[in-house]
Amino acid sequence: MVSLLPAVGLAVVGTAIVWVAGGRLEAASERLGAHYGLPAVVQGAVIAAIGSSFPELTSVVVSVLLHGDFDLGVGAIVGSAVFNVLVIPGWSALRGRGLEADRDVVYKETQFYMLAVAVLLLTFSLGVIYAPQPTGEGLTATLTRPLALIPLALYGVYLFIQSQDVSDHDAPGVDDVNPVRQWALLAGSLVAILVGVEALVQAALAFETALGVPSAVWGLTVVAAGTSLPDTVVSVRAAEAGRGPTSLANVLGSNTFDLLVAIPVGVLLVPGGTVDLNFGTAVPMMGFLTVATLGFLVVTRTDLELNRPEAVGLLSLYGVFLVWMVLESLGVTALVPGI
């Protein structure tokens, strides 16, 4: 128990830093989006989403470059995506007494995000097909830099689609915003988030050493929840202000960035340009993420609104996910090889 105290302390400190920095980042992102006259969906899906996704990107970079643990980074990304699509909309709807959606969120953002999930899983599969490495725990996917370019190219398509929305949108900018100051605030927030994420990663590795539970599990839970705090801040505050589409678009845009950019960047940065991924662990996690996304799509499509009972349903599904991770760690279930 004593050996767990430093890990708990790191997790608490890292979470606090990310929470405070995320709030500052949210404010700067919102002001910059308003200053440049961007549509609400683009503000949420690009400006706020990329900024608030920096912790997830950092978790991959730190895990790979400083600790040589790519599975931890991927676990943090997938766990964060599950948290984002279930907990953040559910909590936002409860705090905002319901959450309105629109057709852009349901038909463009959600469906493109589902395409992102499919393309990332395809990339993992290609890593098995072209460089199979049978192991006792299933197959290992070998991800290379050329394979990493596939999801990055899809994100380029996503940015092109968003740019078309900006060109079609006519909105006046806000004159009382100092863009230089806001960009500086945003940059400072990102640096603070970097420090907080490193503390979370160190906590996950300490938990692995103390309890013998693989780092991927802590990535899926502790690191994922901690790095999702900026997304939570952005979406909940937008929901409380009555900007439901912006709140939901931030969640989906953040997840799209995480899957199509954060994971490939980890592959591009790793020395040698190749990294091994436990395919048997990744596929069940991606499968649950697909289920969570479909649940999100169904509840937001009904009347284009997320009401309180539906919000409770999303939060309950995340509870199922946590229980499943606990059962896998204890060996009660064995649906995820490698855990």
pLDDT in tens, 235-288: 777 777 777 777 787 788 888 988 998 899 888 988 888 888 888 888 888 999
Q: Is residue 135 in some structural domain?
A: yes
Contacts of 124 (CB under 8 A, 6+ apart): 141, 143, 277, 279, 282, 283, 286
Q: Where are the beta strands (DSSP E) in the chain?
A: 99-100, 133-135, 138-144, 274-278, 305-306
**Regions in the chain scoring below 50 on pLDDT:** 1-2, 173
Entry pTM: 0.82
Q: Which residue segment(s) compose the domain that 256 sits in? A: 4-168+179-330
Q: Examine residue 339 and state whether it is found in any structural domain, yes or no.
A: no
273-288: buried (b, 16+ CB within 10 Å) or exposed (e) per residue?
A: eebebbbbbbbbbbeb
Residue 337 lies in a domain: no
Asked if residue 254 is part of any domain, the answer here is yes
Residue 35 lies in a domain: yes
pLDDT score, position 149: 95
Distance CA 85, CA 78 (A): 11
45-65: pLDDT as tens digits? 566 666 667 778 878 887 787
Provide the sign of the torsion angle of the four alpha carbons 187, 188, 194, 200, taken in this order.
negative
Q: What pLDDT does 73 receive?
A: 79
DSSP 279-315: HHHHHHHHHHHHHHHHHHHHHHHGGGEE-HHHHHHHH
- The answer to whether residue 280 sits within a structural domain is yes
The rounded percent of the chain whose pLDDT value lies above 70 is 87
Do the domain assignments include residue 338? no
CATH number at residue 156: 1.20.1420.30
**pLDDT score for 321:** 93
Residue with tokens 């915003």: 177
Asked if residue 173 belongs to a domain, the reply is no
pLDDT on residue 3: 63
The number of folded domains in the chain is: 1
The pLDDT score that the predictor gives to residue 43 is 59
